[in-house]
Amino acid sequence: MLRKTEHRLAIIIAVTVLLPLGVAIMFGNAMFRRATIWVNPDVQQQLDRGVSLYREYIKVVKDDMKHQADAIAADKALREAAKSPGAGEAPIAARLATYFAKYPELVSLSVDDANGHTLASRDRGRPLDPETELGLEVRRPLGDEEDAPLLVATFAFKQYEAELQRAGEVRDGFALAREESAKFTAWNTEAFAALLVVSVILTAFLGFILARGVTKRINRLAVAFTRVAAGDLSVRVPVTGSDELTELARNFNRMLGEMQQSRARIEYLQRIGAWQEMAQRLAHEIKNPLTPIQLAVQECHRKYGGDDPKFRSLLDTTLEIVEEEVGTLRRLVGNFSSFARLPQAELKDADLRDFLRECSETLGHLEDTGSADSSSEIDTVVVKNVSIEWEVPTESLPAAIDRQMLRRVLVNLVRNAAQAIRDARAKGAAPDAVICHVVVSARRQDDGTAIVVDDDGPGVPEDARDRIFDPYFTTKVDGTGLGLAIVKKIVVEHGGTIEVDASARLSGARFVVRLPPPTSAAIAAARARGAVPPSRPSSRALA
């Protein structure tokens, strides 16, 4: 159907244009037949002949000069003088001077060694005259060896003035003929102008009414649909115009964007699910031997009844190291278990303004009493020596969220910022000194909402921003790399996105959590995922 429409429009426009065009061709042929009376037919031939002769002349002159350079370079006396290292400049220069009488076109001669240093040179006594002369430089070796001296000869030849003068005369005659021809065609201007105006108006009117670029935009949509059907969701249709097709293109692009984001979310959730399974197995494999190892060492320490102080000291040190490392492994196992038991989000309609107000009242009084990746929320946020500022928006920001899990996102982001700044600045700081500033805010963005966490820390290195949300990737010595992975999983289950960039506000790091509107397709898909029971036991005791 699209091709038929294009063909019909093409036929109508072609007929509309061809009729006045045919009349214009007849008038044009008659005019040009009369106009050639004043145009000399030999003009173009003479111009071409002049250029051809000039080119041939220049070629012959250059070839002759190259032959002259070959003859000079073949001079046995010059070669022997150039190859005599102790002879000095005088013999070479004297030999060079003899060539100027024999070759009047010579401007300068010089002999260079293999390193490019000039051994001797001579010239005719005056430089090239750019008004009347052209120059040609020819280089020839004075021998067959690779390091043989090099002869540099510069020749001058006169411009082909006579032919150029003749070409100028013909050109002037042609210009005069054109002026005479222009006088003749002046009376036809009004007729051709009227014909052109009628043709343009008629063609533009029919094109505007019948085409209006419809077929072009429909064709772009058809091509885009074909690429989408082949699995390419990155295609986008240019949004132009202000009619129904424009709205269709805009909705089509929005649909593709949501489909692309949904595919990315599903792929990420599948990957994170595999990581959770691995974390659960790893925690199980590590946890089982910890207690026997600790009990065995404690038993050895307890049952030793000897009085050897060195061996007693060795047992004490061994027991202390084993208990400390077992404690570290238990905390690591706890982190793995917490990550493996992370439940799916159950979204409900809420207001981000009220949510941030609740967080500002409850998350501002927590203490740093535990490890960085503990399973308890109170153990997770580091607020000692940290100033947390909550900028609660004044306007309502509707969103679909799981309050407990989104609260976990803010906890982990604030904790992550505080730990990064603490590690960078804690040395030498007073016990009660504020070494970290974090600002949490929310705003409306596009058709959704955004939660922004800014800090004044060292920021995130650019080469680590693409991997910072991957499980077990961390830049901290004592970290497990699960905090931000949990954050991204929760955000993805909310149908949103998270990204990290340099903070323009506090010159540190900026984490931006973008949430779609409650009525979007992403939220509908997230609600559907949350309604399906998880495949493994889940816990709502979130950290």
Judged by average pLDDT, the poorest of 207-211, 255-259, 305-309 is: 207-211
Distance CA 257, CA 520 (A): 12
Q: Which residue has the higher pLDDT, 248 or 435?
A: 248
Judged by average pLDDT, the poorest of 11-25, 360-374, 456-470 is: 360-374
Question: What pLDDT is attached to residue 337?
Answer: 72
Segment 72-93 mean pLDDT: 76
- Written as six digits, the tokens of 30 are 């008659």
Residue 64: pLDDT over 80: yes
H-assigned helices in 74-119: 76-83, 89-97, 99-102
Judged by average pLDDT, the poorest of 164-173, 211-220, 354-363, 466-475 is: 164-173
Residue 477: pLDDT over 70: no
For the chain, domains (ranges, CATH) are 2-35+164-210 (no CATH), 44-159 (3.30.450.20), 246-333 (1.10.287), 345-531 (3.30.565.10)
Going from the C-alpha of 175 to that of each of 70, 171, 172, the distances in angstroms are: 46, 6, 5
Question: What pLDDT is attached to residue 312?
Answer: 81
Segment 303-332 mean pLDDT: 81
Portion of the chain with pLDDT greater than 70, in percent: 70
Segment 117-140 mean pLDDT: 78
Q: What is the pLDDT of residues 448-466, one digit of tens each?
A: 999 999 988 888 888 888 8
Q: Which residue has the higher pLDDT, 532 or 514?
A: 514
Judged by average pLDDT, the poorest of 2-11, 295-304, 391-400, 428-437 is: 2-11
Segment 415-427 mean pLDDT: 73
What is the CB-side half-sphere exposure of residue 46 using CA atoms within 13 A?
16
Could you tell me the pLDDT band of residue 254, with boundaries at 50, 70 and 90? confident
Residue 533: pLDDT over 50: no
Distance CA 224, CA 237 (A): 7
Question: What pLDDT is attached to residue 471?
Answer: 80
Question: What pLDDT is attached to residue 397?
Answer: 93
Phi, psi at residue 372, to the nearest 5°?
A: -70, -25
Distance CA 437, CA 434 (A): 8
Could you tell me the pLDDT band of residue 536, with boundaries at 50, 70 and 90? very low
Segment 514-524 mean pLDDT: 83
Residue 372: pLDDT over 50: no
Residue 173: pLDDT over 50: yes
Portion of the chain with pLDDT greater than 90, in percent: 9
Q: Which residue has the higher pLDDT, 362 or 425?
A: 362
Distance CA 83, CA 95 (A): 13
Residue 38: pLDDT over 70: no
Phi, psi at residue 422, to the nearest 5°?
A: -60, -45
Highest-confidence range of 72-81, 151-160, 268-277, 399-408, by mean pLDDT?
399-408
Q: Which residue has the higher pLDDT, 356 or 430?
A: 356
Residue 3: pLDDT over 70: no
Could you tell me the pLDDT band of residue 513, with boundaries at 50, 70 and 90? very high
Tell me what the pLDDT averaged over the chain comes to.
Answer: 75
Going from the C-alpha of 429 to that of each of 142, 234, 339, 372, the distances in angstroms are: 79, 50, 33, 20
Question: What pLDDT is attached to residue 46?
Answer: 66
Structure pTM? Answer: 0.53
Residue 441: strand, helix, or coil: strand
Highest-confidence range of 223-237, 412-426, 519-533, by mean pLDDT?
223-237
Question: What pLDDT is attached to residue 188?
Answer: 63
Question: What pLDDT is attached to residue 393?
Answer: 92
